Amino acid sequence: MPPALIWFRRDLRLSDHPALVAAVEAAGGDGTVVPVFVVDPRLWGPSGAPRRQFLRGCLADLREQTGGAVVIRSGDPARVVPDLVRETGAGSVHVSFDAGVYGRERDAAVERALGDVPFVRTGSPYGVTPGRLLKDDGTPFKVYSPFARAWRARGVHSPAPRPDDVAWAEGVPTEDLPPAQDLRGTVMPAAGEAAGRDVWAQFREQRLLGYATARNTPGADATSRLSAHLKYGTLHPRTLHAEAQELAGDHAEAVEKFVGELIWRDFYADVLWHRPETAREPFNPQMRAMRYDTGPDADERFAAWAEGRTGYPIVDAGMRQLHGEAYVHNRVRMIVASFLVKDLHLDWRRGARFFFDHLVDGDLASNQHGWQWVAGTGTDPSPYYRVFNPTRQGQQFDPDGAYVRRWVPELRDVPDRYVHEPWTAPGGLPEGYPAPIVDHAEERRVALDRYQAVRDA
């Protein structure tokens, strides 16, 4: 049999990998498998340093796991992949289905360039492949809850077996790993499949039990921390789903909440699959009329937000966590996003772009639609008057200030009861910490007026 080529993209693992299983089967008993990763300038170029570094770590891990067999090539996949097929004499190319805006076009181009060589898509990075779940009338879901009901009713496949003793092709010329990135002091999560398994095992054993409530407390660090692994496919959500279900007897509520988060990921991927333009445009077309501030003054407010010096502790802590860990706690993402859009009156796309550039887990579907949800332009028919109050959110979810003190050391000595509104502290603002750059109550009214204007239009 001729070799089979497995082209890794956002599925950088060997376990529970249906496309890899398909490649091994295609190679038969005596054929080899050629593991390939293409460094595509169109994806690599726009990625921020944290994502590049994490991807690099995943490739290093994959190379180790395959005994050094992974072939790395840079360039346009529509040229690189057919070249490799010619070089190796591969009889088929195997991939996981990519539902992304760019990915599906790229794959179509590669498939055309391959001519008669089969381009085989097996599995996808989701529990349910985007586009598969439709309402009874045949149209896509626009609301999370009904989508989640349908997702749970449909069920998820069992994990695919990990192929053992794969005959990896040897001696195919490869480039080195892509260059290490200058992270400017950002502390990164460990990359690769084994690291992902470790994070998952720890979460499953230690934090899943309390997940339903503790996940909202940023100071407790009770979330799964699996987002980067899901983004790069070092873990598959199907694996997590199956292994979480094993605990459902004792921890039904926690497991349901956790699976609910996996479904959110699938939901937003599904939304983007049906409406690719919503990576840039409001999901709700009416919201195109929304007015956002621009100009030098707006730029200065954006800079204060981006650098974590707004004078609102929970906002500043969140943005400093973004720089410190290339990651932000989920609830705090909502708070800082709400602040940008509703207190500073800036376009959600500016914030989404900044997140995407700085997060290690930056995923187009989840990022853009998470922002759209907060901005009130997205899928959730949310009450327009839902405006996060950064002080109240801080007091409610970080009552002892553990989170804000971790990231904003200037607040270390401010007593708990003032830590989310240090400008009211009897001793005044601590040295080096700014006064609030805007008045929340005032800006809330401005935001509500602007939403009202869109509704009236």
Which of residues 47, 396, 410, 443 is near DNA by CB under 7 A?
A: 396
Site for DNA in 361-380 (CB under 7 A): 370, 373, 380
| Amino acid identity for residue 110 in this structure | V
Task: Count interface residues toward DNA (CB under 7 A).
Answer: 37
Min dist CB 378 to DNA, Å, is 9
Min dist CB 393 to DNA, Å, is 5
Are the C-beta atoms of 52 and 41 separated by less than 8 Å? no
Q: How far apart are CA 260 and CA 279, in angstroms?
A: 23
Site for DNA in 198-227 (CB under 7 A): 216
8 binds DNA (CB under 7 A): no
143 binds DNA (CB under 7 A): yes
Residues 322-326: contacts with CB within 8 Å, 24+ apart? 322/355, 322/358, 322/359, 323/186, 323/358, 324/185, 324/186, 324/187, 324/407, 325/186, 325/187, 325/188, 325/189, 325/360, 326/48, 326/50, 326/183, 326/186, 326/188, 326/358, 326/359, 326/360
Min dist CB 380 to DNA, Å, is 4
Which of residues 68, 89, 118, 146 is near DNA by CB under 7 A?
A: 146
47 binds DNA (CB under 7 A): no
Which one of the spans 46-54, 179-187, 233-241, 326-334 is the region binding DNA (CB under 7 A)? Answer: 326-334
Which of residues 136, 164, 182, 297 is near DNA by CB under 7 A?
A: 136
Q: How far apart are CA 3 and CA 26, in angstroms?
A: 8
Q: Which two tokens stand for residue 64?
A: 């180790």
Which one of the spans 82-90, 142-150, 202-210, 418-426 is the region binding DNA (CB under 7 A)? Answer: 142-150
Per DSSP, what are the bridge partners of residue 94?
A: 6, 120
Interface map 223-262 toward DNA (x if CB under 7 A): -------------------------------------xx-
Pairing assessment for the beta strands 92-95 and 119-121 based on DSSP bridges: parallel
- Within 10 A of 21 (CB to CB), how many other CB atoms are there? 18
Residues that bind DNA (CB under 7 A): 135-136, 139, 141-147, 149-150, 216, 260-261, 264, 330-331, 334, 370, 373, 380-389, 392-393, 396, 440-441, 444
